[in-house]
């Protein structure tokens, strides 16, 4: 149990996917202008991330490895993610139209979210077992959600603040992200 908690905490806080590993910066900068949008994007991405890990892990170990096709990993994984996103989109459209209309726009963008591909590739290269890789993807998803919510909150404040003209706009967002990242570096002593 302890082992799983460790993986969860380290992927959510210590190695935060956005702030420490620099993954998924595009939605982090592009989608956080509005709190609702950033929450929608965060939830949708987290969902696909966990689902993708559940699908790609057995696929790698039971199909690609026995057939000696491990070098096709990247190609196969991105196709799996793209089709998963498509599936989720169809399913939501049919069964939960309300959720679909609030999430629909972001679903298509998720395919090119690098955090998802990175999580599926990392859980293979780190040598996790099936359960560990699910915990790892859950932790990363929580970390992503946390970063999105924090950034969206900060941007609300930044709108009201007086900012020197030369760092107005995007530069100030990166400065804020840098400060957040520094705060998250403080978690590094959490697990020995």
Partner 1 sequence: MKKYWQLFKNGLVKENPLLFLMIGLCSSLAVTTSFENGLGMGLALTFVLLMSEVLISLLRKLIPDSIRIPVFIIIIATFVTIVELLMKAYMPDLAKALGVFIPLIVVNCIIMGRVESFASKRTVAESAADALGMGFGYLWVLTGISIVRELFGNGTFIGMTLIPEQYTIGFFTGAPGGFFVFAIFIAVTRLIRVAYEKNKGEQK
Beta carbon of residue 26, minimum distance to partner 1 (angstroms, whole number): 6
Look up residue 91 and give its two tokens. Answer: 């399913």
> Which of the stretches 3-11, 38-46, 50-58, 77-85 binds partner 1 when contact is defined by CB under 8 A?
77-85
Q: Compute the distance between CA of residue 55 and CA of residue 124 in angstroms, rounded to an integer.
A: 12
- Can you list the pairs that 73-80 forms with residues at least 24 positions away whose Cβ atoms lie under 8 Å? 73/121, 73/124, 74/117, 74/121, 77/52, 77/117, 77/120, 77/121, 78/111, 78/117, 80/52, 80/55, 80/56, 80/120
**131 lies in the site for partner 1, by CB under 8 A:** no
According to CB under 8 A, which one of 79, 87, 96, 131 is a site residue for partner 1? 79
Q: Which of 122, 133, 137, 140 binds partner 1 (CB under 8 A)?
A: 122
CB of 53 to partner 1, least distance (A): 14
Give the nearer residue to partner 1 in terms of CB position, either 29 or 55. Answer: 29
**Rounded least distance, CB 34 to partner 1, Å:** 17
CA dihedral sign, ordered 72, 78, 81, 86 = negative
**Residue in 76, 88, 95, 87 with CA at minimum distance from that of residue 44:** 88
Among the residue ranges 46-54, 56-64, 76-84, 146-154, the one whose residues contact partner 1 (CB under 8 A): 76-84
**How many residues are given for the chain?**
192
Binding site for partner 1 (CB under 8 A): 19-26, 29-30, 71-75, 78-79, 82, 111-114, 117-118, 121-122, 125, 166-167, 169-175, 177-179, 181-182, 184-185
């Amino acid at each position: 149990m302890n082992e799983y908690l460790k993986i969860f905490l380290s992927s959510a806080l210590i190695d935060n996917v956005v702030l420490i590993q620099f993954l998924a910066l595009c939605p982090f900068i592009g989608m956080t202008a509005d709190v609702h949008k950033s929450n929608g994007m965060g939830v949708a991405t987290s969902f696909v991330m966990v689902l993708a890990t559940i699908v790609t892990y057995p696929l790698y170990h039971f199909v690609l490895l026995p057939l000696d096709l491990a070098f096709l990993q990247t190609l196969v994984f991105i196709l799996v993610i793209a089709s998963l996103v498509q599936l989720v989109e169809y399913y939501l459209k049919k069964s939960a139209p309300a959720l679909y209309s609030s999430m629909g726009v972001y679903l298509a963008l998720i395919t090119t979210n690098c955090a998802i591909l990175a999580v599926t590739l990392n859980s293979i290269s780190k040598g996790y077992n099936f359960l560990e890789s699910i915990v790892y993807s859950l932790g990363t998803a929580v970390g992503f959600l946390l970063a999105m919510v924090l950034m969206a909150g900060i941007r609300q404040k930044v709108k009201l603040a007086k900012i020197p003209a030369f760092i107005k706009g995007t530069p100030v967002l990166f400065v804020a992200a840098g400060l957040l990242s520094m705060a998250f570096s403080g978690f590094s002593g959490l697990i020995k």
